[in-house]
Amino acid sequence: MNKITILLTGTLLIALVAAGMLLYNQRSGIAYVDTMKLMEGARDMQVLREQMKAEAAKVSANVDTLTVEFDQLLKKHERELGSMTAREKELSVELLNAKRKSLVTYQQAVQNQLMQKEQVETENVLKRINAVIEDYGKAKGYKMILATANGNIAYAEQDIDITEQILEALNR
């Protein structure tokens, strides 16, 4: 009889400790999100990536067209080089240099514009993600929600990872 009482008491004690730990985790108000998963799973970010990919393709096509035009001008210059006067050669080289510089300047400008646009739009998505995290945290009574990326948190129990819940709220 004593062994059964001790066994039941021990089992009850283990159950109480486990329930207490679970209750503490819920009441501690601490959770974390995986920011890499949020960025990959956010519908807004996926749409932005597709838009930027399409814009980059359009810019690339424009640069390719200008490059072909420059190459044609260069070939024409090379073909006619033997029949040109010194002044015509000089003017042709100046024209080629101006076209090349214009092409490089255009290419750099459009790449910079794309990068700036992507940066601004990514910041907007991040602001929205942060707002959703904040709203979710307030609604669920969290005191703190940590953000992790690339192992910034050395260890955390899986039950305080709310990444999936945030993704659901974000993609509604």
Structure tokens that stand for 113 in this block? 């514009």
Q: What is the pLDDT along the chain (172 residues), one digit of tens a residue?
A: 555 555 445 444 454 444 444 445 455 789 999 999 999 999 999 999 999 999 999 999 999 999 999 999 999 999 998 899 999 999 999 999 999 999 999 999 999 999 999 999 999 999 999 999 999 999 999 999 999 887 678 888 888 999 999 999 999 9
Q: What is the per-residue pLDDT for 93?
A: 93
What pLDDT is recorded for position 38?
Answer: 94
Name the residue with tokens 């080629």.
Answer: 96
Distance, CA of 50 to CA of 119 (rounded, Å): 14
Per-residue pLDDT, 141: 93
pLDDT, residue 152, reads 79
Residue 132 and residue 170: Cα distance in Å, rounded? Answer: 6
Domains and CATH numbers, the chain: 28-170 (3.30.910.20)
Can you give the pTM of this predicted structure?
A: 0.71
Backbone angles phi and psi of 156, in degrees to 5: -155, 145
Orientation angle between helical segments 86-140 and 43-80, nearest 10 degrees? 180
Q: 10 Å Cβ neighbour count for 127?
A: 10
